[in-house]
Amino acid sequence: MQIKSRIPALPGKSFFAMNRWFNKMYLAGLLYHPDEPAEAIINITSGKPTFTPDECIELNRAVELMFANHGDKVYDVGLQYFHKAMGIKPEHFEL
């Protein structure tokens, strides 16, 4: 039996695809800072890794590809979703 990954596939190299990926991560409650390796993300409540080893591979590849295609724009898009998750509504909040 194959277990379905919680990590959304990066649907392409476009800016829209990156935005969509962050939205799916936001909706799944799986946002994290893209500078951190996925293996370093720990669930505060349980003290256990948030992601499985296979999910870490998927996440690290997706983030690497986004940085290769969009550079620092990864931070701009990710920050918008972090703000949304925290209930912060900047004046120019656009998604």
Which of the 8 DSSP states describes residue 30?
Answer: -
SS3 84: helix
Report the predicted TM-score, pTM, of the whole model to 2 decimal places.
Answer: 0.86
Count of CA atoms in the C-beta half-sphere (13 A) of 47: 0
Which of the 8 DSSP states describes residue 49? B
CA–CA separation, 68 and 58 (whole Å) = 15
pLDDT tens digit at each of 95 positions of the chain: 567 889 999 989 999 999 999 999 999 999 999 999 999 999 999 999 999 999 999 999 999 999 999 999 999 999 999 999 999 887 655 55
